[in-house]
Structure 1
Amino acid sequence: MPLDHFQQLLHSLGQESLHVLSDTFSKSDYVPLDLSKDNPDLQKIDVSSSEALGQYIDAHIEKHHGKIAYGGYLETRHIYRRSTHFNNFKPVDERNIHLGLDLWIAAETPIFTPLDAEVHSFKNNTLFGDYGPTIILKHQVEGTVFFTLYGHLSLESLTDLTVGQLFKQGDQIAALGAASVNGDYPPHLHFQIIKDIQEYVGDYPGVCSQKDLAFYKANCPDPNLMLQLY
C-alpha cells in the first residue's frame, strides 16, 4: 500500500538515522522479538509475570547475539489479559493490538529525542499494566505537527520536567524504569508516533481493540518509518 503524506514525511526523516537509544548501538545490535499470541514459545511461560517474561526476552537477546530486542507494532498480544486496564472480558472490545514499537533493554538505559521537540505533557500512569512514567513530545517538521510518546520510564525522568520545555535532536529526555514503576513489565521503551493527540495529556492509548484498529492505525503509523530498524 502506498504511503500517505504523513507516512512519507516520517520515512524521509528516517533517512537521517534517527534514534531513541544511544547512537553507539548498531543495527546489528537489534534483534526482532515476537510477543504475539501466535508465538508458541509464550505458551510455555507465565507471561503475566514480569520476571518470567523478562527472562524469556533476555534469553532471546542472548541467543541471537544482540543487545536490544524490538518489535510489536500492530502485534496482537495475549499478555494484556492479566490486566483489567486492557481487558473488560468482552471479546469485541478486548484491547490487545499494540500500537507502538517496543525496545527491550535494561532499566536506566538513556532515552533520546529523535527530533527537535517541545514537551507536550507528562504523567505517571500508575494502573497495573499501564505505562508508568510517560512523556509526550511535540514536533513540528515542514509545517506538520505530530507527537511521540515514550512509556515505561523511570520516576526520575519526570523530575524537573516542564510543559513547553525544549529539547534539541539527540538530547537525553529520560531513562527506562524497572518493573516496580513501569506498569510491571520487563524494562523496555514503548515508542509511539501520534498524528492527532486529541484531548489526551500525559497519556494516549498504546493498545487498541480490533473494532478501533482502522482509526488508530491511521493516527499512529509504524514507528519504524522513523527508526528504520527493519
Structure 2
Amino acid sequence: MDYYNEWLALATTLKLAAITTIILVIIGTPLAWWLAQMQSRFKVILEALVALPLVLPPTVLGFYLLLLFSPNYASGSFLQSLTGSSLAFSFTGIVIGSIIYSLPFVVQPLQKAFEQLGDTHIEAAIMLGAGPLDRFFNIVVPMTKATFITAASLGFAHTIGEFGVVLMIGGNIEGETRVLSIALFDQVEAMNYQTAHYLAGGLLVGSLLLLAFIYLLNYRAERKIKVAN
C-alpha cells in the first residue's frame, strides 16, 4: 500500500472540504437569509437554482464547469487573464465546483431555520433600536447556532464524498486535485482491493460518525425547545 499517496489524497480532501465549507457558510448565510425574507414570485425559481445540484448528475455540472473554465472558450480565457492560470485541472477549479455542488446542503437548512424563527424577537429588537447587523448577529445567529453547525457539517461531508464534479473539473493530479474518492476509484480499477477496503472503510466510518454528530446535535436542539416550551 502506497501510504504517502493516500495520505496526500486525504490531505487534499480535507483541505478542499474545509475551504469549501468556510466559503459556503460565508456566502450561503446571506443567501439563505435573503431567500427566507423574499416574498417575490421569483423565489421559487431561485430556490430551484440553489437546489439544482441535488438532482443534477455531478458529471453534467462538472462538464459545463469544465467548458466554462477552458481557455478555449471566451469565459475560460477571461478567467485565465484574471487569475494568470487556467481554472481547469486546478485546486481552485475544484473548490469552485465543490461550492456550487454543495451549496444546497448549506443554504436549505439555514433558510428553513430562518423562516421558522418568526418575527417576535426581531420586532422587539427593532423597537429597542437594534440595527440589521446587530439583530442578525445577536438574535438570529445565537437562536440558529445548531443549524449553522448542521449546515456546515453537511457541506463538509458532502464535499468529502464528491467524485464526478472533481474528476470532470480537476482530473487526477497527485497533490493537487486527487481526492479520496478518486484514489478509491484508482485502487479498484487497479484491483488493489485491500487498499480500496481501507479507503472505503475510512470514508464509511467517517461519514457515519459525522451524521451521528449531526443527528445528536439536532436531537439536543429539539430537546431544548421542548423544555423551553
TM score, norm. by length of structure 2 = 0.23
Bigger fraction of residues in strand: 1
Bigger fraction of residues in helix: 2
Q: Which has the higher contact order (CA 8 A, sep 6+)?
A: 2
TM score, norm. by length of structure 1 = 0.23
